[in-house]
Amino acid sequence: MSQDSFLESTMRGFARAFSKALISEAVARQPGLLQSLDPRVRVIGMVALVISVILCRKLAVIAAVMALAIVIAMASRLSLWSLATRVWFVVLGFTGLIALPALFVTPGRTIFTLPGLPLSISAQGLGTAALLVFRVETAATFTTVLVLCTPWTHILKALRSLHLPAEIVTMLAMTHRYVFLLIETANQMFESRQSRTVGRLTGPEKRRMTARTAGALLSKSVDLSHEVYLAMLSRGFDGEVRLLNDFRLRAHDYVAMTAFIVAGCLAVWTGR
């Protein structure tokens, strides 16, 4: 590891978070199937399909639901390549790696023995690894499609209209807003430290520097919360949270909702 690569990798992580947020906002504004639906229908529909995938016990049915996820993504004008890089390859790399040993260690009927190695793949091992990878891929695809096609504020308003407490919804909204401000602040602190670093830092120096940055960020965060509170008071905040709920369900929302629920129920029924 180069002497300041931990700084660079942290800053790359910040940049990735910004990039993901910007892509989501751009995609959510495009015309498409999910974008044309009421946010409540999108949230309920996609979550219902995720739950149905978790309840499915047959690989073929999960594969069919995955095909449905791809159709929804294409109808919502999402780039399949961006889904592949954002979800499918990542899940395959992470969950695939976790599932790989299951091929060999799960007890059961041997279907293949690796030539020259004392390792054999069991039918049960192959079954469980495939179920895990396909299930995680499908569920992650639905969640990503929902997030990409729905502005964060609409997801929150949909959650509120589904009776999530107003305080929680407000905290989620404010946290999301200040995450980006604090990422920007932390990024500037790291950049300014990096620009003043000459020579090599030892391990303890790097740890102290990271802890000091985190500590300073904490102090700034608490000061920020005080400023936000004063601003809220100045606008007349009295401790009660009130949110507008101006969503209206139209005929095609009811049709889409019914279709999502029926597809989910069918998947659970055939995959039980």
Partner 1 sequence: MHIPDGYLSPSTCATLYAFAASGWYSALRRVKGMLAARTIPLISVFAAFSFVVMMFNIPLPGGTTGHALGVTVAAIVLGPSGSILAVSIALTIQALFFGDGGVTTLGANCFNMAIVGSLVAYGIYRLLSARSEIRSRRRVWAAAVAGYVAINAAALLTSVEFGIQPTLFHDASGTPLYAPYPLHVAIPAMMIGHLTVAGLAEAFIAAGMVSYLQRADIGLLRGIQDVPGTAPLTVDASRIASPARLWWVVGFLMLCTPLGILAAGTAWGEWSSADLANPEARAQIEAASGNQTVPSSVPAGLQKLSTVWTAPFPGYAPRFVKSQTFGYVLSAMFGVGSLMLVTLAVSRLARKTQAPESSS
> Interaction with partner 1 in 64-123: which residues (CB under 8 A)?
86-87, 91, 94-95, 99, 101-102, 105-108, 123
Q: Does 192 bind partner 1 (CB under 8 A)?
A: no
Q: Of 28-36, 73-81, 162-170, 248-256, which part binds partner 1 (CB under 8 A)?
A: 162-170
CB of 146 to partner 1, least distance (A): 9
Which residue intervals of 101-246 are DSSP H helices?
102-105, 123-149, 152-161, 166-195, 203-234
Binders of partner 1 in range 131-150 (CB under 8 A):
131-132, 135-136, 138-140, 143-144, 147
Closest CB 116 distance from partner 1, rounded Å: 25
Q: Which is nearer to partner 1, 76 or 144 (CB)?
A: 144
Which backbone phi and psi does 72 adopt, to 5 degrees?
-60, -40
Q: How far is the CB of 42 from partner 1 (least distance, A)?
A: 13
51 binds partner 1 per the rule CB under 8 A: yes
- Among residues 112 and 254, whose Cβ is nearest to partner 1? 112
- 163 makes contact with partner 1 (CB under 8 A): no
49 near partner 1, rule: CB under 8 A: no
Among 80, 211, 243, 265, binds partner 1 (CB under 8 A): 211
**What's the half-sphere exposure (Cβ side, CA atoms, 13 Å) at 151?**
11
| Residues of span 212-271 touching partner 1 by CB under 8 A | 212-219, 221-226, 228-230, 232-233, 237-239, 241
Q: Would you count residue 127 as binding partner 1 (CB under 8 A)?
A: yes
For residue 38, give the nearest of 251, 259, 265 by alpha carbon.
251
CA 146 to centroid of chain Cα atoms: 10
Say which amino acid occupies 139. Answer: A
For residues 34 and 259, what is the distance between their CA atoms, to the nearest angstrom?
A: 13
Handedness of CA 175, 179, 185, 189 (dihedral sign): positive
Residues in the chain: 272
Determine the angle formed by the axes of helices 152-161 and 166-195, rounding to 10 degrees. 150
Closest alpha carbon to 106 in 90, 128, 88: 128
Which residues contact residue 248 at a Cβ distance below 8 angstroms, ignoring those fewer than 6 apart? 38
Question: How many binding residues for partner 1 (CB under 8 A)?
Answer: 93
Is residue 154 near partner 1 by the rule CB under 8 A? no
Min. distance of Cβ 231 from partner 1 in angstroms?
Answer: 9
Tell which one of 183, 193, 247, 261 touches partner 1 (CB under 8 A). 183
Question: Is residue 210 a contact residue for partner 1 (CB under 8 A)?
Answer: yes
134/64 Cα distance (integer angstroms) = 10
Q: Report if residue 23 touches partner 1, rule: CB under 8 A.
A: no
Place of tokens 């000091």: 212
